[in-house]
Amino acid sequence: MPVPMPENTTAPQLLPLGADALIVRFSLMPDPGANAAAQAFCRALEAADMPGLVEIVPSLASAMVRFDPGQVARAQVLAGLERLLRGTDWAQVTPPPATRRWTIPAAFGGEFGPQLGEAATLAGLSESRAIEELCSVGLRVLAIGFAPGQPYLGLLPAHWNIARQSALTPLVPEGALVVAVRQVVLFANASMTGWRQAGQCAFRLFRPDEAEPFPLRIGDELRFEAVAHGEFRAIQASDDGGAHVARCEALT
């Protein structure tokens, strides 16, 4: 008999991940407050400069802390993390302000977003209203994963809490802009997916040979700018296919 799902507890849990890492879990289920807490916690941990820590990574509702057991024992790391966690009511933390705002052109619907209509209907909106909402909300990068540089963006308003498809779309192109569960994902590579494709971007998310291989970071703000299909095709036909077409503003 499987154990019944524990209720979401507001107290963060410290759990082992192999002999040299820990997960600090703010919520078992996806939860916007937990995402804010994870990001805030990682910033605080970076600032605390604890000895022996090798890598600090926020994700959707938790953070991973990797340490060097040759330098510091698990008990010491736990003690340090517990000290840091104790000072704050993590259930009340708001997302740390974004330090950068990206504006990225996107084509919606038609050949670039074959499931825009479906997604809009599920969200109770017309297609044009759906595009407006996707472009007007200042989305934040909540997590990066599945592929290098691939962002999970959110959160859209509550009526966008639409389910993933039961049958997978065999292939969406690199740059596909897909929606489900109040989030938007941009695919870093052509991929199979259960999310519905509403649009497409040309901006390249992973550039291994450039000085900045991963342009987007967790916490960045991102706004889509709807462009007509003709203009998007022109971007795709340009020298680098639109790989760098985006504005990035620093925010204080």
Partner 1 sequence: MSARLDIQSAGPGLCVQDLGRPGHLASGLSRGGAADRLALFEAAALLGLDRVQAGLEMAGMGGEFSVSRPMRFALTGAPMAASIDGAALRWQASHRLEPGQVLRIGGAKSGVFGYLTPAGGVATKPVLGSRSAHLAVGLGALLRGGDSLPLGADPAADAAAMHLPVADRFCGGNLRFMAGPQTALFGPEVLAAFQATEFVRSATGNRQGVRLEHAGAPFSAATEGIASDLIMPGDIQMTGDGVPYVLLSECQTTGGYARIGTVIAADLGRIAQAPPGARLRFSLLSLAEADAAFRPEAGLIASLRKSVQPLLRNPHDLADLLSYQLISGVVAGDEE
**What b/e readout covers 37-68, taking b as 16+ CB neighbours within 10 angstroms?**
bbbbbbebbeeeebeebeebbbbbbbbbbbbe
Residue with tokens 């998310």: 205
- Position 16 contacts partner 1 (CB under 8 A): yes
In the bound complex, what is the minimum distance in angstroms from residue 213's beta carbon to partner 1?
6
What are the Cα distances from residue 61, in Å, to 14, 42, 78, 226? 13, 12, 19, 30
Separation of alpha carbons 34 and 31, rounded Å: 5
Count interface residues toward partner 1 (CB under 8 A).
51
**Structure tokens given for 211:** 């000085």
In the bound complex, what is the minimum distance in angstroms from residue 133's beta carbon to partner 1?
24
In the bound complex, what is the minimum distance in angstroms from residue 43's beta carbon to partner 1?
12
**Which residue, 125 or 184, has its beta carbon nearer to partner 1?**
184
Which residues in 92-121 contact partner 1 (CB under 8 A)?
none
In the bound complex, what is the minimum distance in angstroms from residue 183's beta carbon to partner 1?
11
Which residues in 230-249 contact partner 1 (CB under 8 A)?
none
Residue with tokens 């703010």: 26
Binding mask 178-217 for partner 1 (x = CB under 8 A): ----------xx----------------x-xx---xx--x
